Amino acid sequence: MSATTAGTSTAGVAGAGGVAPETPVRAARRGRGAWRWVVFAVLGLYFLVPLAASVWFTVRSRDGVTADVYTSIPTAEGFTENFGRSLALGALTVLIALLLMVPTVVLVELRLPRLRPLVELLTLVPLLLPPIALVVGVRSVLAWAPEYFLGTPLAEAFFALQEPALPWILVLVYVVLALPFVYRALDAGVRGAQLRTLTEAARVLGASWPRVMLSVVLPVLRTSVLNAAFLTLALVLGEFTVANILGFETFPTWIVRIAGSQPRLSVAVSVLSLLLTWALLLLISALDRRRREEDPA
C-alpha cells in the first residue's frame, strides 16, 4: 500500500486543483476547501469518538482517572498464553506464505507470464469467498479423520494438526486468507523494480538461480516482503472466525471470552492492540519512505 502511494504522491498533490465536482474552475477555486473540511470533520468525528470513548471507558473510575486496567493486562489470566499463541501462529503464517509466494511471484514475472491470470484469479478467491464458508469446508475435511481414516497415519497427522497448544491447521488456513494481501504486496514490489533487467544481469555475470534469488531478488523486494509480512501478522492477530468455528482459543477469541466478566479489560486490550498496530504500520511506512528518498530508483 505505502509502496503505491509514495510512488504517485507527487501527481496527487499536483492534482489538487482538478477535483471540485460539477463546477467550472473559477467557482471551484472560490469554494474549494469547504467540502473537504466537511468530509474530514464528519468522518473524523465518526472515527475518533469511539476510540476516545473507549479510552475514557477504561480509565474512568469513581475518584478520577486510573490506569489500573492497563497495568493489569500482562498478568491477566490467559493473556500471555493466548497472545503468545497468536504471535506464534502469525510468525508461522508469515513464514509459510512468503516461502510459497516469493518464488511464485518472481517466476510468474520472469519465466511464466502466461500463468499470471491463473495466479491472479486463485489469489483473488480468498478475498471474495467468505472465510466462514471456507472453514466449514475445512471442518468437514477434518471430520474425515475419525470417520474414514481411523488407525491410519493420515488420521494421526490430522489429529496432530489440531493440537490446541499450537493448532497448525489454523496456520494452514490463515496462509490461504493471507494470499491476496501477500500476492498483491509482492507483485507491486516486483513490478516497481526492474527485476528482469537485474536478474538477467546477474545471470549474464554467472550467478546461479538460487544465488539470484538470495542476493538480487530478496534485497530488491525487501520493502514489499516487510509489507506483506506485516499485513499477514495483523490479519492473524485479529482473526476470529476460523479460530472460533474450529474451536481453538487465540488472542481475539480470548478477548470475546473475557468480555462478559471483565468488560473494561476487553476494551482496554482491544484499544491497545489497535493503537499498537497502527503505530507499527506508521513506523514501517516511515522507514519505507526514508529508504525511497535515499535511493530514488
Partner 1 sequence: MEPGDLRLSTATTSAAPASRRGRRRGGLLPALGPVLGILPFLLYVAVFLLLPVGVLAVEAFRAVDPVTFEESWSTANIGTVTGGAYARSYVGSLELSAITAVLGAVLGLALAFAVVTTRRGRLLRRLVLTASGVLANFGGVPLAFAFLATIGNAGVVTAVLTGPLGLDGFRLASLTGLALVYLYFLIPLMVLTIVPAVEALRPQWREASDVLGASGWQYWRYVGGPVLAPPVLGATMLLFASAFAAYATARALVGSSVPLVTLQIADALSSNVVVGAENLGKALALGMVVLVGLVMAFYTWVQRRTSRWLT
* Contact between 111 and partner 1 per CB under 8 A: yes
* Contact between 43 and partner 1 per CB under 8 A: yes
CB of 189 to partner 1, least distance (A): 11
In this chain, which of 50, 78, 84, 146 binds partner 1, going by CB under 8 A?
50
CA-based R_g, the chain, Å:
24
* Contact between 215 and partner 1 per CB under 8 A: no
State the Cα–Cα distance between residues 232 and 90, nearest whole angstrom. 7
The footprint of partner 1 on this chain (CB under 8 A) covers a number of residues equal to 110
CB of 79 to partner 1, least distance (A): 15
Only segment of 87-95, 108-116, 149-157, 214-222 that touches partner 1 (CB under 8 A): 108-116
CA 128 vs CA 133, 166, 177, 185, 192: distances in Å = 11, 28, 10, 18, 26
CB of 39 to partner 1, least distance (A): 4
Spatial neighbors of 213 by CB under 8 A, at least 6 apart, are 102, 103, 106
In this chain, which of 31, 84, 113, 146 binds partner 1, going by CB under 8 A?
113
In this chain, which of 94, 221, 234, 248 binds partner 1, going by CB under 8 A?
234
In this chain, which of 8, 71, 80, 215 binds partner 1, going by CB under 8 A?
8
Query: Ramachandran region of residue 21, left (φ > 0), alpha (ψ -120 to 50) or beta?
Result: beta
CB of 165 to partner 1, least distance (A): 21
Whether residue 90 contacts residue 252, with contact meaning beta carbons closer than 8 Å, is answered with no
Beta-ladder partners of 239: none
End-to-end CA distance of the chain: 18
* Contact between 13 and partner 1 per CB under 8 A: yes
Closer to partner 1 by CB, 140 or 152: give it: 140
DSSP string, 30-99: HTHHHHHHHHHHHHHHHHHHHHHHHHHHHHEETTEE--HHHHHTTTSTTHHHHHHHHHHHHHHHHHHHHH
* Contact between 58 and partner 1 per CB under 8 A: yes
* Contact between 47 and partner 1 per CB under 8 A: yes
124-163 mask for partner 1 (x: CB under 8 A)?
A: -xxxxxxxxxxxxxxxxx-x--------------------
